[in-house]
Structure 1
Amino acid sequence: MPPDPGDSLSLGAAPVSLLDPETALSLLRADPEMFAAFTGEPLLAVRVCGPRALEVAAFARRLPCVLVGVAADLADAPSGVESAGFDVLLTPQNAPPAPWVGPLRPGQTTADALAAIAATARAVPSAAVAFAQLVRYSAGVDVDDAVVAESFTYSTLQGGPEFAAWLAGHRAERERRAARRAEAGGPASAREGRPATDPTTDPAVLVERDGDELWVVLNRPRVHNAVSRDVRDGLVSAFALAGADPSITRVRLRGAGRTFCSGGDLAEFGTLPDPARAHAVRTTRSIPLALLRCGRPVTAYVHGTCVGAGVEIPAFAERVVADPATTFRLPELAMGLVPGAGGTSSIVRRVGRERTAFMALTGWALDASVAADWGLVDEVRPVGGDQHPER
């Protein structure tokens, strides 16, 4: 039984069917594989109205698809829908209670959000569905176990065609840019005249003792503190140092320069020999596991454009202080991957799995105000990268 055309939202060339609960149940019972990454539609979007919406969630929450609930009026949503199993819950209501997501800026609609989610699910169905399954699992296990589960998923996707396609495109674009710069007589490996990697001999991570506190500073400002092997190893060592010294009572983490952290260093993506080795390295020298093991309260000070790891790592901290101009974004699904710096563990525990899924599936940026409302950050006040912020 095909969806009623009247239930379709016009979202460009590929409309999204927003089904009523009865239609969704009928389709699911007739053929559960209708909604799946490779045998059908990777997205199931359902109107959240009446008790049948709970039945849809109970049926579909274990299927390999992204499950989105949409409520035009939260007063019509059945009791218990927030914990029924939807991956994302959307409403046009402004500033709705968790786990619902409303408009993030003036003029934004539920249709816009659903279109962005659908575009991701259809462009990278393996990554989108794997992500949805991962956060369903991670929300119910220990924070450390969730980090390991994320690494398994990330490594699996590293061996898949979606990441391979992104990596090939990324490398081809880098070569085209280098060729254009060479033709123009500029540096072939630079972006706007800057090195693709930080050429300084300064440590990638600075560690400074201040009384009974340890300041840890990301120190690759010329590349916006992108997380390289050196940054990873420096952070792991710094957190180990804090854990080994009983006289250290707190760790304070910040980034030098204009941005706390712009995510993983794209120059190093795809450089490990195979996904199995990548998983072994990621769980042996793990930034989030090292932070958790150190046993000291961590305060993270963030500013600028925080992307990927720049969102995921500070979310593990006991306290996050953000500059008012900070933005937060999870772009990994567009690469055919899931967050890989612990975000499906840390962010889920701060904002809930539904809002984490919204961030990853849309790829949209949150501003500091929304991040504070959601609990991704604890305080908003001026933070810069030139000196230690006020405590």
Structure 2
Amino acid sequence: MDVLSIAELRALMREPTAPASPLLAQPLLLVDSAAAQGFDDARVLDWLKRIPAPVIAVGGDAGPLSRACDVHVPDTDAALRLRKAIVDCPLAASTLVQTLRLTQKLDAENGLVAESLAYASLQNGAEFRRWQHAHEPASTPDESGAAVELHREGERLSLTLNRPLNRNAMTVEMRDSLIEALTLALLDDGVRSVDIRARGRCFSTGGDLREFGSAPDPSTAHAVRGLALPGRLLAMLAERTTVYLHGACIGSGIEFPAFAGRLVATRDAWFQLPELRYGLIPGAGGTVSIARRIGRQRTAWLALSGQRIDARTAKLWGLVDAIDG
């Protein structure tokens, strides 16, 4: 696929149809930003933001053209790696970048509604159904005790995710336990600070794949997220909440903590948004929480690439606030 020049972009603008779409042979655009230093034609920039597919800036310049695109990568090799992921799930990729474009213009609450609606649309899509049919759910480890342990000491409330054998996956049980604990913190004026940690080898591997698509239908799932999204409550407590991260922090295992006011990671922590490979987008608030920490373009790169970043990169980007140890 060619990397388009400014002249080629101007020519495409004159065409009556979009140059890229998940329904076309070209599900993305690659734009040469290295040769566009200082380019600021508002008509072209606005047009790029309306294309119903990922627009990837390729090259070193970080000027207006690059900022108008959905992702900025340093070279063609990096762009082609993203292209493969987009071609595999073009509907989810298109929905992702359109959602990120929208949520950056909305307040957090309306951004969560927009994300949930987009997620629901994909839950009934061919790409998610294809992934479901190819994966048999495994059994859930048997673990005793509360899914989230609570400990109160004076004005401090400590929460601990307590499903280490299941890698603290965000099951319905875990979700409901977090909502109960965070609601308690919101209602108790005596709670001045909230700490959240996790037992076991990692903080959380995100949504339990065994429960993906288990709601009666996507519209019901959207309604449930409107009532029961732990990140919404964590955002209300942000100024007095610190989350301590270690090991794998995948999907909702970073989308949820990113709502907190302060994130502290160990040096072995790593972060990943793998939802695109399932034909989905982040659905636990990540297009709001993560994007507000690291920006729309880096969030899009994480979700489109599915690649991991380490604690050092996360600190450099602002995804976490400190590295412990």
For Structure 1 versus Structure 2, the TM-score category normalised by the shorter chain is over 0.9
Q: TM-score, normalised by structure 1?
A: 0.79
Distance, in Å, in 2 between the alignment partners of 1:234 and 1:353 is: 30
- The alpha carbon displacement at 1:283 in A equals 1.2
Q: Which residue of 2 aligns with 1:158?
A: 123
The change in CA–CA distance for 1:63 and 1:39 in structure 2 (over 3 A counts) is: same
Distance, in Å, in 1 between the alignment partners of 2:262 and 2:167 is: 22
Name the amino acid aligned to 2:188: D
Q: What are the ranges of 5 or more consecutive residues in structure 2 without an aligned counterpart?
A: none
| Selected match of 2:4 from 19, 32, 42 | 19
Q: Which residue of 1 aligns with 2:249?
A: 306
Q: Which residue of 2 aligns with 1:30?
A: 15
- The alpha carbon displacement at 1:119 in A equals 1.1
Distance, in Å, in 2 between the alignment partners of 1:331 and 1:167 is: 15
- The alpha carbon displacement at 1:113 in A equals 2.2
Distance, in Å, in 2 between the alignment partners of 1:249 and 1:339 is: 30
TM-superposition CA deviations, 1:270-305 (whole Å, max 9, x none): 111100110011111111112123465210100001
- Check conservation: 1:89, 1:354, Cα contact below 8 A: yes
TM-superposition CA deviations, 1:171-214 (whole Å, max 9, x none): 2xx5xxxxxxxxxxxxxx5xxxxxx3131221111111122111
- Check conservation: 1:262, 1:309, Cα contact below 8 A: yes
Q: Which structure 2 residues correspond to residues 272-311 of structure 1 after superposition, within 5 A?
A: 272-294=215-237, 297-311=240-254
Q: Which residue of 2 aligns with 1:89?
A: 72
- Check conservation: 2:246, 2:269, Cα contact below 8 A: yes
Distance, in Å, in 2 between the alignment partners of 1:330 and 1:310 is: 9
Q: What are the ranges of 5 or more consecutive residues in structure 1 without an aligned counterpart?
A: 1-15, 92-109, 175-188, 190-195, 383-391
- The alpha carbon displacement at 1:87 in A equals 0.4
- The alpha carbon displacement at 1:144 in A equals 1.6
Q: Which structure 2 residues correspond to residues 1-391 of structure 1 after superposition, within 5 A?
A: 16-48=1-33, 49-50=35-36, 54=41, 55-71=43-59, 73-74=60-61, 78=63, 80-81=64-65, 83=67, 85-91=68-74, 110-171=75-136, 174=137, 196-294=139-237, 297-382=240-325
- Check conservation: 2:58, 2:76, Cα contact below 8 A: no
- Check conservation: 2:70, 2:297, Cα contact below 8 A: yes
Name the amino acid aligned to 2:321: D
Give secondary structure in 1 for the equivalent of 2:158.
Answer: strand
Distance, in Å, in 1 between the alignment partners of 2:239 and 2:187 is: 10
Distance, in Å, in 1 between the alignment partners of 2:273 and 2:27 is: 20
- The alpha carbon displacement at 1:63 in A equals 1.5
Distance, in Å, in 2 between the alignment partners of 1:255 and 1:230 is: 15
- Check conservation: 2:57, 2:66, Cα contact below 8 A: no
Distance, in Å, in 2 between the alignment partners of 1:156 and 1:324 is: 37
- Check conservation: 1:207, 1:216, Cα contact below 8 A: yes
Name the amino acid aligned to 1:264: G
- Check conservation: 1:348, 1:356, Cα contact below 8 A: yes
- Check conservation: 1:22, 1:52, Cα contact below 8 A: no
* Percent identity between the two aligned chains: 38
The change in CA–CA distance for 1:57 and 1:117 in structure 2 (over 3 A counts) is: farther
Name the amino acid aligned to 1:66: P
The change in CA–CA distance for 1:354 and 1:295 in structure 2 (over 3 A counts) is: closer
